[in-house]
Structure 1
Amino acid sequence: MGHPLTDQELIERILQGQQQLFAVLVERYQQLVFTVAHRMVPQREDAEELAQSAFVKAYQNLGNYRGEAKFSTWLYTIVHSVCLTFLRKRTLATQSLDNEQVYASADNLDGGMRANVVETKSKQATLTQAIQQLSADDAQVLTLFYQAEQSLEEIGRIMQIDPNTVKVKLHRARHRLKTLLEKNYAQEVQDWRY
Structure 2
Amino acid sequence: MHAGMDDINIINQVLKGDQQGFEELIKRYQSFVFTIALRYCRNREDAEEIAQDVFVKAYRSLADFRRDAKFSTWLYTIAMNTTRTFLRKAKPPVDSLEKAVVYETVSAQHTGTGADLTEQRSTHQLVNHVIGLLSPDDATIITLFYKAEQSIEETAVIMGLAPNTVKVKLHRARLRLKEKLEQFFADEIKEIIN
* TM-score interval for Structure 1 and Structure 2 normalised by the shorter chain: 0.7 to 0.9
Q: Could you tell me which residue of structure 1 aligns to residue 183 of structure 2?
A: 183
CA contact 2:101–2:147 (8 Å) conserved in 1: no
Identity %: 48
Distance, in Å, in 1 between the alignment partners of 2:44 and 2:162 is 29
Bigger share in helix: 2
Q: Could you tell me which residue of structure 1 aligns to residue 112 of structure 2?
A: none
Give secondary structure in 1 for the equivalent of 2:149.
Answer: coil
- 2:84 matches 1:84: yes
Larger C-alpha radius of gyration, 1 or 2? 2
Q: Could you tell me which residue of structure 2 aligns to residue 163 of structure 1?
A: 163
TM-score under structure 2 normalisation? Answer: 0.79
Give secondary structure in 1 for the equivalent of 2:103.
Answer: coil
Per-residue CA deviations over 1:33-89 (Å, capped at 9, x if unaligned) read 222233344444333322221111100000111201111111111112212323444
Distance, in Å, in 1 between the alignment partners of 2:98 and 2:137 is 14
Distance, in Å, in 1 between the alignment partners of 2:154 and 2:88 is 23
Q: Residues 28-43 of structure 1: matches in 2 within 5 Å?
A: 28-43=28-43
Q: Could you tell me which residue of structure 1 aligns to residue 18 of structure 2?
A: 18
Q: Could you tell me which residue of structure 2 aligns to residue 64 of structure 1?
A: 64
Give secondary structure in 2 for the equivalent of 1:105.
Answer: helix
Question: What displacement does 1:159 show?
Answer: 2.6
Give secondary structure in 2 for the equivalent of 1:134.
Answer: coil
Q: Could you tell me which residue of structure 1 aligns to residue 105 of structure 2?
A: 106
Distance, in Å, in 1 between the alignment partners of 2:89 and 2:70 is 29
Question: What displacement does 1:20 show?
Answer: 1.8
Cα distance change, pair 34–25 in 1 and its aligned pair in 2 (3 A): same
State the number of aligned residues.
184
TM-score under structure 1 normalisation? Answer: 0.79
Q: Could you tell me which residue of structure 2 aligns to residue 115 of structure 1?
A: none
Amino acid at match of 1:86: F
Which sections of structure 2, spanning at least 5 residues, go unmatched? 110-116
RMSD: 3.0
Distance, in Å, in 1 between the alignment partners of 2:23 and 2:122 is 33
Question: What displacement does 1:97 show?
Answer: 6.2
